[in-house]
């Protein structure tokens, strides 16, 4: 069973190595590590691990927090691909996409951000058009989206007033970024956390900007 473990660790040499040693001693294999943020003496890391069938998920928390100063921000099952070149794969897919840019983004962004789903939207909350959606994306009919049309990247936490009660109960964390000046936007979500960080939002804005630029390029 694979899990995504988000850790807040002291930003000093050897800390992540100590975490790896503690997880290894508990029979837990690290598959990948992404450093999301660094600052104020701490780092935020996303760690994908494989847990042996004879271990419970709580053993991940016990092992990680046995290292002084390490905190577990969230833990959830992870079923995504175990690749380490997700953004490069996205850019390669965008290059020949042309008018299919929205479909590529909806399909690939969940892999890039290890989220549950992605939707490419256009219009307003009252007049919404879904241009593309990933397989696990929810139906947005009747869901108020007061932040549309979107002009700037936004973090959309699950406890916001507009979020449906069912989504709040499932802790559906979201973020969104504009794709073009005409009101097209990309919405990403994941159930059960972890919350999207500002660094992830900036990455999303950067990637949507690149996608918009690629889409405007004339065919080779």
pLDDT of residue 92: 63
The 10 Å CB-count burial string (b at 16+, else e) for 87-100 is beebbebbeebeee
pLDDT of residue 218: 52
pLDDT of residue 209: 85
Mind listing the pLDDT tens digit of every residue in the chain (220 residues)? 889 899 999 999 889 889 999 999 999 998 888 888 888 899 999 898 999 888 899 999 999 999 999 999 999 888 765 554 565 566 566 655 455 889 989 998 998 888 999 999 999 988 999 999 999 999 998 899 999 999 999 999 999 999 999 999 999 999 999 998 888 999 999 998 889 998 899 889 988 888 887 776 555 4
At which residue do the structure tokens 């256009």 appear?
Answer: 122
- What is the fold of 86-216? Beta-Lactamase (3.30.450)
Residue intervals of the chain classified under CATH 3.30.70.260 are 2-77
Phi first, then psi: what are they for 80, rounded to 5°?
Answer: -80, 175
At which residue do the structure tokens 């999303």 appear?
Answer: 204
CATH number for the domain running over 2-77:
3.30.70.260
């Amino acid at each position: 069973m694979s899990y995504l473990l988000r850790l807040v660790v002291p930003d000093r040499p050897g800390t992540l190595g100590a975490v790896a040693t503690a997880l290894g001693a508990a029979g837990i294999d690290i598959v990948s590590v992404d450093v999301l943020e660094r600052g104020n003496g701490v780092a935020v890391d996303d760690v994908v691990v494989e847990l042996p069938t004879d271990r419970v998920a709580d053993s991940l928390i016990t092992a990680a927090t046995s290292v002084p100063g390490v905190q577990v921000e969230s833990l959830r099952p992870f079923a995504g691909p175990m690749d380490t070149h997700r953004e490069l794969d996205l850019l390669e897919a965008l290059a020949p996409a042309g008018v299919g840019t929205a479909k590529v983004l909806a399909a690939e962004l969940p892999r890039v951000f290890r989220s549950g789903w992605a939707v490419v939207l256009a219009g307003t909350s009252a007049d919404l058009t879904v241009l593309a959606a990933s397989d696990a994306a929810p139906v947005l009919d009747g869901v108020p989206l007061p932040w549309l049309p979107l002009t700037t990247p936004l973090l959309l936490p699950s406890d916001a007033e507009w979020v449906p009660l069912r989504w709040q109960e499932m802790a559906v964390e979201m973020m969104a970024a504009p794709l073009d000046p005409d009101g097209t936007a990309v919405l990403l979500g994941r159930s059960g956390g972890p919350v999207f960080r500002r660094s992830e939002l900036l990455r999303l804005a950067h990637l949507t900007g690149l996608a918009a630029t690629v889409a405007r390029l004339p065919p080779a």
